[in-house]
Every structure is written in C-alpha cells, then in structure tokens.
Structure 1
Amino acid sequence: MRVFLMNIISAVFHPLLMATYSSALFYWMLPEIYSPIPYKSIPMFIAVVFITTAVIPALSIAFLMFTKRVSNLDITRREERSLPFLTIGVFYGATTYMFYDKMNIPRPLLVMMIAVTVLIVVIFLISIKFKVSVHSAGIWGVAGLFTAVAIRYLSVDMVWPLSLIFMGAGLTTMSRLELGRHTPNESWAGIILGYTLSFSAFWFFA
C-alpha cells in the first residue's frame, strides 16, 4: 500500500506537469498576472501549456520507450537521459519562443517558461556525469517560483497555497527516496538546483 501511494505521488507531481501546475497556480493565486490575456481565455492558455509541455513530451518519451531508447517514463537510468532531456529541452525552448513571438504572453509567464527550459538544459548537462532528481528539481522549482511571487506581491492570500506547494514538494522528494529512485545527494541536488534557479529567475527578471 505504501509503495502504491508513493507511486501515485510521483505520478501526480511528475516533472512534465510542473509548467501546467504553475500556470494554474498563477490563475488561482494571482490571475491579474495574465494581463493582457482576457480572463475568460486563461483556461484555454493553460490547456495549451498542458498539451505543449506535458502531452507532447510524454508522447516523445513513450516513442523512445517503444524504440528501446529509454526504460521507463521517469527515465531513471542516468545513461538514458541525454537524448530525451535534449529533445524535451529543445521542444520547451521552441514552445517558449512560440509563446513569446506569436502569443505575446505577459513577462512573468515568459520568465516561468524560460526558467523551466533552462532547468531542463542544465539537468541535461549535469546528467552527463551525475544523476539529479528531476522530480525534486521540478516541484522545488515551483516552490522557488512562488516563493519569489509571494515575496514580490506580499499577499497574505498566498500563504496557504504556498504551504501546500511546500507540502507537495516534500512529499514528492520523500516518494522518490522511498521508492529507491534516488539517493539523498541526488534529491538534494535537484532541490537546490530547482529552487534556486526558479526563485532567481522570477526575482530578477519577472
């Protein structure tokens, strides 16, 4: 039962869902940040983010699994990470450019997408020599992003959402350790990298 629960947590907080969750959290916590996107169009934008940053990359990984390039959707083997991470990084970069050039999205959302893309590229480079917990990097990246948002906008309405984000981040890291997918060092590397990069990106550039 415990293993099943840890797998559910890992699936719910899969790294490919982080951009979608971040977009939805902005909608919930600070919808005015989407301006000048019309309020009624925000759910459609979030759906586009989900398709372009979760569904299509997941299909690309599924194709790599089908062709025996990777063993599983989590890409747990370090030696298998180069190709999928490079592919996803390039795709995220192209998606970010499309958002900037075609949709003219607000600066905070653009910074979020750039931060996610840079995080993937950095993990790709590190993974050549060292395995980093991508789950930890992803969810703690969200925590870092919204810590910066909460400080920047100083809203008490963000206290509970931010608490839930940190709770989810802790549970996600714990689940990866419990399942034996990562060592403490790999988890800490993901936590520090994701949190620091995302916090800094929003704090200095948004």
Structure 2
Amino acid sequence: MNTRFAQFLSALLHPLLMPTIIFSILFYVAPESIQNLELFNGTSRVGMMSLKVGILLLMFLQTFVLPVFCIYALHRFKIIKDLKMETLADRRVPYLVTVAIYTFVAAFFTLKLRQFPEISLILTSIAFSISAVAFISLYWKISAHAVGISGTVGALTGIAIKFGSMTLFYPILATILVAGFLMAARLHLNAHTPAQILAGTVLGLTVSLSVVIFFI
C-alpha cells in the first residue's frame, strides 16, 4: 500500500468522524430504524435545513469539530507534543477530553431529543467505547481507528438484524471492505501492531453490536 494513500485513508476515516458517518447512513439509507425520524423530519426544520441535516450538522460540530479544536489547543499549549498522538503520553489527556465531550453529547441527545432514543443509545455506546480506549491507553496503545470503524460495522449490522433492514446490506459490505483497507493502512504506517488492531476491532464490534441488539 502506498504511504500517502495510507495517510489519506487514516485522515478520511478518523475515529471522530464515525458518528457522523453512522448516522448519515442510517438517516438516508435506513431511516425506519430511527423512531419518529421521518415524522419529525417532515414537520420540523432547523433554520433553512431539514431536521436530518440539522441533526447531522450538530453532531459533526459536537463530535468532530469540538474535539479536534480541543486537541489542537492542547498542542498549542504544549500539553501534547505531536498532533498525530503516536505515543501513550500524547494520547492520555486528549482521550480524556474526548470522553468528556462525547459523554456530554450523549447526555444532550438523551435529554433534549427524547423522541429519537436510538440516536442517544448509539451515541452512548460510542462514548463508552471511547472511555474504554482512554482507559486502555493509560497502559497500552490500542487502535482507535479499529475501534471506530468496527463500531460502525457493528452498529449498522445490529440495526440490520434488529429491523430486518435489507437496504443496509450493501453499506455494511462497503464498510467492511473499507475497514480492511483502513486496518491495512494503519499497519503499513507502523501506527499499530496486529494485536492492537485486533483488540480495537473486538472492542468496537462488541460494544456497538451489543447495545443495538439488546437496548434498541
């Protein structure tokens, strides 16, 4: 695999983008999996945007833009040395900050958008996965990319099983294929060992699939 392509893929499929990717697929491929989504989407608007677009934009700002800004600020204040966060020392504080943000986001959606319980449950599972990554990263460099992409596969697969949604078949296949390329990219860049990739995959799949199957 080409190094530049591996770097591009790692950036394009950053773990912090996974919530936006998951819900973009669910909103536009399997909206029936989100209770009341189409009902409220037809009657509610966020400014000039539909409810779907408004929720996705809010989620993108909260789960990607805000954590990235905080991580950049940590770098500017010399709390972390490298934005790539390749060492355990550089990962600990950013992960703790990200856990706090994602916990707040999950609580926000749970309390403010009660008509969409599926959204808050999936976000809670993501927050739990990040918390597990943060704890493990105190001692060992587990792959957050593997956790993120496998969590996406798990969430989509769980929804497909739970709701019998055949429309998710091809998105799931595509996500699995992309996951393979992403994990190969992380190995090519020597960012992780096979054990760290495997651990991340097991964690992401287990948490997301379990939450969807047993709680949604």
Which bracket does the TM-score occupy, shorter chain normalised?
Answer: over 0.9
Q: Which runs of 5+ in 2 are unaligned?
A: 42-49
Q: Which residue of 2 aligns with 1:136?
A: 146
1:116 maps to a residue whose letter is I
Report the TM-score when normalising by structure 2. Answer: 0.91
Spell out the pairing of 1:2-17 with structure 2 (5 A cutoff): 2-17=2-17
Q: Which residue of 2 aligns with 1:90?
A: 100
1:20 maps to a residue whose letter is T
Spell out the pairing of 1:173-184 with structure 2 (5 A cutoff): 173-184=183-194
1:58 to 68, 91, 108: 68
Number of matched residues? 206
The percentage of aligned residue pairs carrying the same residue is 28
- SS of the equivalent of 1:83 reads helix
Q: Which residue of 2 aligns with 1:19?
A: 19
Deviations 1:145-189 (CA, angstroms, capped at 9, x unpaired): 111111112232221111011111111111100011001111111
Quote the offset at 1:80 in angstroms. 1.9
Matched, 1:205 2:210: no
Deviations 1:96-153 (CA, angstroms, capped at 9, x unpaired): 1111112225121111100110011111111111110000100111011111111112
- 1:176/1:182 contact within 8 Å kept: yes
Q: Which moved more, 1:47-56 or 1:88-97?
A: 88-97
- 1:58/1:73 contact within 8 Å kept: no
Q: Which residue of 2 aligns with 1:78?
A: 88
- 1:34/1:42 contact within 8 Å kept: no
1:102 maps to a residue whose letter is K
Quote the offset at 1:69 in angstroms. 2.1
- Equivalent-residue separation in structure 2 for 1:107 and 1:122 (angstroms): 23
Quote the offset at 1:75 in angstroms. 1.8
Q: Which runs of 5+ in 1 are unaligned?
A: none
- 2:109/2:119 contact within 8 Å kept: no
Q: Which residue of 1 aligns with 2:46?
A: none
RMSD: 1.4
Q: Which residue of 2 aligns with 1:153?
A: 163
- Equivalent-residue separation in structure 2 for 1:76 and 1:155 (angstroms): 39
- Equivalent-residue separation in structure 2 for 1:154 and 1:66 (angstroms): 48
- Equivalent-residue separation in structure 2 for 1:112 and 1:35 (angstroms): 13
